[in-house]
Amino acid sequence: MNSHQASNWSDLAKEFTWKTDFKSELSGGFEKGDITWFKEGSLNICENLLDRNIEAGLGEKTAFFWEPNELNNSLKKSFSYNEVLTEVSKFSNALKESGIKKGDVIAIYMPMVPEAVFASLACSRIGAVHTIVFGGFSKEALRSRLIDSKTKLIVTAKTCYRGNKTIDLLGVAQEASKDLDHLSHLVFVDNSDTSANEQSGLNQISYTDFVKGMPTTFEPVYVEAEHPLFILYTSGSTGKPKGLVHTTGGYMVWSAFTFKEVFQFQDDDVFWCTADIGWITGHSYFLYGPFLNGATQVMFEGVPTYPNPDRFWKVIEKYKVSHFYTAPTAIRSLQCLGDDWVLNSDLSSLKVLGSVGEPINLEAWQWYNDIVGKKECEIVDTWWQTETGGVMISNIPGKTQAKPCLATKPLSGINPALLDQNANVVHDNNQEGILCISKPWPGIARTILNDHNRYLETYMKPFPGYYYTGDGAKRDDDGDYRIIGRIDDVVNVSGHRIGTAEVEDVINKSGLVIESAVVGIPDETTGQALLAFGIVSSTDSSEVLENKVNEAIKEKIGSFSKVKKFVIVKDLPKTRSGKIMRRLLRKVATKDENLGDTSTLLNPDCILEIKKSLY
Ligand code: WTA
């Protein structure tokens, strides 16, 4: 895909194969949330990703290398574009045989194994909708997603290998899938010696048996440009997780264009995005954007420190990775282990280093630049969200200037604005404002599954005429943006997006507290960490309660949402209308003395009490 100025999305879109040409670029808008791109066009994204590249001569090119958790794993480790197409076609045929049709939802609850790629792309080939659920989510979190999306078939694996840990993924998937009328099939990758229990009421079958004897070709099913491609659940500031819906045509153009533009990727480069496919980064910059551009990628099953803390660097050396994309939390945790692990690896293939998921702090940026990149790589600090589908603000290697800790400039065609609480545009530089976007772009999520009203309320209504991001930002005198962080109750722990409301809900329902409040506080390694405050009636110590609370969180959401500390308090600061002032709790926890006017609180005295409990 050309990396020219995207002033005209139609030109970019026309580089792809369409079954029926589209008639218009953009129609609809933020107001009604009826954003439509490439109206009347029909296409198949999988055809664009595989067949189109194969026709262009890339059939024998490596689509991806698979780096398993174990160094001595003897399974097949690289797949050409031709081979991917064969595997995807087999899986597509098997889906069809199982009665899966265009528009049906398929859940992918898998580790980073090649079959996850084949299964996901097979969904898009037959016009089904995938919902990929991160393997770290618990049975209940998975179940709620299966129910909300009315999943028909789930693909999983017996085991998830992460360093020296093994997780019984199949067991979790089976538990989550019990007695759901809409769910008829469970397919599992047989990746361990353990025996698989039968699951009554479900057609349970191993991946190998599922695709056995299936034809190796499958005609793509063409869908309209606005046909849903996938649902991805993410956390918001209130309520249950939102199933964001991304649609086919716009997402294809956006993920492909942003990949090419931000990474300035060349044909012989090797791209490695360390994100799990369960997160948006794994969707846009592993599953779709790079493959749409015919790139060669690395897919990694393991963790950065297994078997040694140099695993990342050895993988870069082994595959001569030129473009490496990871999160600040990973950078910080590897920085803590010392420079030698990096210096003893040959990283001379690296050209571009990317950062995503949270603001990168100066120390981490410098280490990434100096030690990993040897001051010879471009660092791209890419700001975007699950909702935006692809990168929105980033410097561009060779085109625009990088600045440590600043995402810098919007991509061509993206118009950010900073607004104050009263919806006035902040014109002055170096002033904090709420980051909003003033025009729809092709990759924006189109709705929240089953709740379009919530979509409008969350993103379109706070500031009419703008898409509301939930992030605070500043613009400097060069017009470069620095992202400050969330201004709502969403927290980024190790790059995982967590809604404090969800965690509070688990704590409140655990029976351990009368009332609780959870806030995010800065943390040296994980970026932010969760701090829980609870009014309790038991005599348990805060350590005991912390363990109990974390057990409940592990069961209901997943271990990655555990709280770092549980603080027992007598009261929580509240407004006169009874709303908990989490902002104040955050300030008290970070010893910020500038609490503002606390006289309007219902119970201002509790602040002193909370300070005593904390320090
Ligand atoms: C934060 C991840 C600062 C931000 C792609 C956003 C960032 C949230 C950056 C979305 C960055 C992402 N600098 N903050 N470069 N990238 N964020 O949906 O708060 O998991 O709103 O998408 O991550 O997280 P999500």
Q: Tell me which of 276, 310, 381, 488 is the catalytic residue.
A: 488
Distance (Å) from CA 380 to ligand 1 centroid:
14
Q: How far apart are the first and last CA of the chain?
A: 56
Q: What is the pLDDT of residue 495?
A: 84
Using a 6 Å cutoff on CB, does residue 443 contact ligand 1? no
User: Can you tell me which atom of ligand 1 is nearest the CA of 496?
Assistant: 20
- Looking at domain 409-487, which CATH architecture does it have? Roll (2.30)
For residue 368, the 8-state DSSP code is I
In the chain, how long is the greatest CA-to-CA distance? 73
Break the chain into its structural domains and give their ranges: 24-55+68-245+278-287, 409-487, 494-614
Q: Which of 368, 483, 560 to mutate to test the pocket of ligand 1 (most atoms within 8 A of CB)?
A: 483
Distance (Å) from CA 508 to ligand 1 centroid:
28
Q: What's the full length of the chain, in residues? A: 615
Distance (Å) from CA 492 to ligand 1 centroid:
8
State the DSSP H helix or E strand holding residue 89, giving kind and residue range, or none if neither: helix 81-97
Please enumerate, as own/partner, the contacts of 68-71 that have beta carbons within 8 Å and a separation of 24 or more: 68/113, 68/161, 68/301, 68/302, 69/161, 69/162, 69/163, 69/301, 69/302, 69/303, 69/306, 70/161, 70/302, 71/307
Q: What is the pLDDT of residue 3?
A: 47
Q: Which of 75, 168, 155 is nearest to 117 (CA)?
A: 155
d(CA 519, CA 374): 37
Distance (Å) from CA 160 to ligand 1 centroid:
26
Using a 6 Å cutoff on CB, does residue 394 contact ligand 1? no
Q: What is the pLDDT of residue 7?
A: 54
Question: How far apart, in Å, are the Cα atoms of 243 and each of 20, 130, 344, 443, 499?
Answer: 29, 11, 43, 16, 14
Dihedral angle at the C-alpha atoms of 281, 286, 289, 294, nearest 10 degrees? 170
Q: What is the pLDDT of residue 214?
A: 98
* Residues near 200 by beta carbon (within 8 Å), at least 6 away in sequence: none
Q: Which of 471, 528, 561 to mutate to test the pocket of ligand 1 (most atoms within 8 A of CB)?
A: 471
Q: What is the pLDDT of residue 596?
A: 81
Residue 464: phi and psi, rounded to 5, are -55, 135
Contact 313, 262 (CB under 8 A): no
Using a 6 Å cutoff on CB, does residue 244 contact ligand 1? no
Q: What is the pLDDT of residue 615?
A: 87
**The CATH classification of domain 494-614, taken from the options 3.40.980.10, 3.30.300.30, 3.40.50.2300, 3.40.50.1820:** 3.30.300.30
Q: What is the mean pLDDT of each run of 10 residues along the chain (615 residues)?
A: 63 97 97 97 98 98 98 93 98 98 98 98 98 96 97 98 96 96 97 84 94 98 98 85 97 98 97 97 98 98 96 98 96 93 97 94 96 98 98 97 96 96 94 96 98 97 97 96 90 90 92 93 93 93 96 95 96 84 91 83 89 89
Q: What is the pTM of this model?
A: 0.93
Q: Count the helix, strand and coil residues of the chain and give each as a percent rounded to the nearest 5.
A: 30, 25, 45
Give the Cβ contact number of residue 100 at 10 Å.
22
Using a 6 Å cutoff on CB, does residue 47 contact ligand 1? no
Q: What is the pLDDT of residue 1?
A: 58
Distance (Å) from CA 358 to ligand 1 centroid:
5
> DSSP strand E in 405-466: where?
416-419, 432-437, 447-448
> Any catalytic annotation for residue 488?
yes
The CATH code that applies to domain 24-55+68-245+278-287 is: 3.40.50.12780
